[in-house]
């Protein structure tokens, strides 16, 4: 039975890698400037300089990499959270960290700090996210025990407050700033700064690696905190560390790419059904699937109403949301 299981896992991994290549292909080969396939291959093989080179290497490739990084990060965060909270409806934005990032970014735009350096916006977002993490932790960790219920409730409340604050900033801002804030909130993968893309990619891979140290803890936590304690899992320490990892994953993602919802909710949920609950496969499977999903949605966003681009969050929301509802209703119908 267990050998079958390992075989199954390897099968899923190969499938996901194949899908990832497919998604990468679609992102590199499809675009509004209509470069012929042969040319794209040539440019990928050796860099020759020229317009096609610029487009493929300078525009499409960075976007593709960021898509994998953000999609992977958000899905990973979703898996961890759903595992910790034992609640399949928890997603990275529920905790209010994204609200903090949004407030940070809006504030920096409002105060005109954007003109200081192109890095101020993501930095402000990240700082906003970090402040939220500290606030959440401070409010919910009493006597060394981190209350998960409390985190959830506080997180939802903070999101509400953050939305209202952002409305306030929108009302106070000038028209140029207004669109800056709104577009940041809608999320997009076209980050011009290569440094930030590298950070996002590096962070996502690093945290994936780190999270694997907790694979057995996460499996045990599925039984409940007390049962996990019985199995020798240091529950409090694990919760703390996982909370920090998730927050950083979300903080970096939101700071660099804005709010892209649904990925962290839908992808882990689906992967759970497909590859099972064992975190040994679920972590990497969700990571890969999240990247594939986001890159695929981004390609759609770029081409559906070319040359205009839809914000990628719109596609993830519609596609992800509809898929979610469809699967749920099918399941409900089958169960009677």
Partner 1 sequence: MFSVKGITCGYGSKIVLEGIDLSVARGEFFGVIGPNGSGKTTLLRAMARVLNLQQGEIFLNGEDIWRIPLKDFARKVAVVSQTVPSVPMTVEEFVLLGRLPHYRSLQFLETEKDNDAAEHSMRVTGIEALRGRLMDQLSGGERQLAAIARALAQEPEWLFLDEPTAHLDIAHQVRILDFLLRLNQSSNLTLIMVLHDLNLAGEYCRKLLLMRQGRTHKTGSAEEVLDRGTIENVYGTPVAVGKNPLSSRPFVLPVPAGKQAGRERK
Partner 2 sequence: MKLRAWLIFCAVILACSFAWAAEKGVIPERIVSLSPVITEELFLLGAGDRVVGRTHYCTKPREAQKIEEVGNVLEVSVEKIVALRPDLVLAGSMTSPKAKEKLKRLGLRVEEFPSASDFNGICDSFFKLGRIIGKEKEAETMVKIARSKVDALRSQVRDGNRPAVFLQVGVDPLVTMTHGSFLNDLIEFSGGVNVARDAGSRIYSREKVIADDPDIIIISGMGSDGEKANEKEKKIWQGYRNLKAVKNSTIYVVDSDLYCAPTPLTFVNALENIIRLLHPHDAA
Q: Which residues bind partner 2 (CB under 8 A)?
A: 31-35, 51, 54-55, 58-60, 114, 118, 171-172, 174-176, 179-180, 183, 188, 190-194, 302, 306-309
Sign of CA dihedral 195, 111, 251, 266: negative
Question: Cα separation of 152 and 258, whole Å?
Answer: 22
Spell out the residues 6+ positions from residue 251 whose beta carbon is closer than 8 angstroms to its own: 97, 101, 125, 126, 129, 130, 133
Nearer to partner 2, 2 or 171 (CB): 171
Q: Site for partner 1 (CB under 8 A): which residue of 234, 244, 304, 329?
A: 234
Distance CA 184, CA 98 (A): 12
Q: Which long-range contacts (CB under 8 A, 24 or more apart) does 63-67 make?
A: 63/27, 63/189, 63/190, 63/298, 64/24, 64/27, 64/28, 64/295, 65/197, 65/201, 66/189, 66/191, 66/197, 66/200, 66/201, 66/256, 66/257, 67/27, 67/189, 67/291, 67/294, 67/295, 67/298
Among partner 1, partner 2, none, the one that 138 touches (CB under a kind-dependent 5 to 8 A) is none
CB 72 within 8 A of CB 287: yes
Confirm or reject binding of residue 227 to partner 1 (CB under 8 A). Answer: yes
Beta-carbon count within 10 A of 322 CB: 11
- Residues 44 and 25: their CA atoms lie apart, in Å, by 11
CB 20 within 8 A of CB 292: yes
Residue 229, Cβ neighbours under 10 Å: how many?
A: 13
* Residue 3 or 175 having the CB closest to partner 2: 175
Cβ nearer to partner 1, comparing 167 with 223: 223
Q: Which does 336 bind (CB under 5 to 8 A by kind): partner 2, partner 1, none?
A: none
Select the binding partner of residue 220 from partner 2, partner 1, none (C-beta < 5 to 8 A, by kind).
partner 1
- Of 330, 234, 233, 219, the closest CA to residue 279 belongs to 219
Nearer to partner 1, 116 or 231 (CB): 231
Contact stretch for partner 1 (CB under 8 A) within 93-101, 147-155, 270-278, 297-305:
270-278
Stretch that binds partner 1, among 40-48, 162-170, 253-261, 272-280 (CB under 8 A): 272-280
Contacted entry of partner 2, partner 1, none for residue 176, CB cut-off 5 to 8 Å set by kind: partner 2
Distance in Å, CB of 300 to partner 1, minimum: 32
Nearest to 153 by CA among 103, 95, 101: 95
Q: Judge contact between 185 and 102, C-beta under 8 A.
A: yes
Q: Write each residue from 4 to 23 as x if it is in contact with partner 1 (CB under 8 A), else as -, in one continuous string.
A: --x-----------------
Report the residue from 29, 52, 182, 215 that binds partner 1 according to the rule CB under 8 A. 215
**Which of 55, 70, 109, 233: binder of partner 1 (CB under 8 A)?**
233
Query: Which residues, listed in sequence order, are joined to residue 158 by a DSSP beta bridge?
Result: none
Q: How far apart are CA 298 and CA 316, in angstroms?
A: 8
Residue whose CB is less far from partner 1, 17 or 231: 231
Which of 118, 224, 322, 326 is the binder for partner 1 (CB under 8 A)?
A: 224
Q: Near partner 1 by CB under 8 A, which window of 16-24, 168-176, 228-236, 257-265?
A: 228-236
The answer to the question of residue 331 lying near partner 1 (CB under 8 A) is no
Distance in Å, CB of 167 to partner 2, minimum: 13
C-alpha 302 chain-centroid distance: 19
Please give the residues from 276 up to 305 whose contact with partner 1 meets the rule CB under 8 A.
276-278, 280
Q: Which residues bind partner 1 (CB under 8 A)?
A: 1-2, 6, 215-216, 219-220, 222-224, 226-227, 229-234, 276-278, 280
């Amino acid at each position: 039975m267990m050998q079958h299981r390992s075989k199954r896992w390897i099968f899923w991994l190969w499938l996901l890698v194949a899908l990832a290549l497919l998604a990468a292909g679609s992102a590199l080969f499809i675009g509004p400037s209509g470069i012929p396939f042969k040319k794209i291959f040539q440019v990928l093989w050796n860099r020759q300089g020229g317009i096609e080179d610029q487009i493929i290497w300078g525009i499409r490739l960075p976007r593709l990499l960021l898509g994998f990084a953000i999609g992977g990060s958000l899905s990973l965060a979703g898996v961890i959270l759903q595992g910790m909270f034992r609640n399949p409806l928890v997603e990275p934005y529920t905790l209010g960290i994204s609200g903090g990032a949004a407030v940070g970014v809006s504030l920096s735009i409002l105060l005109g700090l954007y003109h200081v350096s192109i890095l101020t916006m993501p930095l402000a977002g990240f700082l906003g996210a970090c402040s939220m993490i500290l606030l959440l932790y401070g409010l919910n960790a009493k006597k060394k025990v981190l209350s998960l219920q409390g985190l959830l409730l506080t997180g939802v409340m903070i999101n509400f407050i953050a939305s209202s604050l952002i409305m306030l900033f929108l009302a106070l801002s000038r028209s140029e700033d207004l669109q800056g804030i709104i577009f940041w909130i809608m999320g997009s993968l076209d980050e011009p700064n290569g440094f930030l893309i590298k950070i996002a990619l590096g962070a996502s891979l690093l945290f994936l690696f780190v999270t694997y140290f907790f694979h057995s803890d996460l499996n045990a936590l599925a039984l409940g905190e007390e049962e996990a304690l019985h199995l020798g899992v240091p529950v409090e320490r694990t919760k703390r560390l996982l909370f920090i990892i998730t927050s950083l994953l979300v903080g970096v993602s939101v700071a660099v790419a804005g709010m892209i919802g649904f990925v962290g909710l839908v992808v882990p949920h689906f992967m759970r059904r497909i590859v099972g609950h064992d975190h040994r496969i679920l972590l990497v499977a969700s990571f890969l699937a999240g990247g594939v999903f986001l890159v695929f949605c981004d390609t759609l966003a770029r081409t559906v109403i070319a040359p205009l681009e839809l914000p990628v969050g719109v596609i993830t929301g519609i596609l992800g949301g509809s898929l979610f509802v469809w699967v749920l209703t099918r399941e409900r119908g089958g169960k009677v």
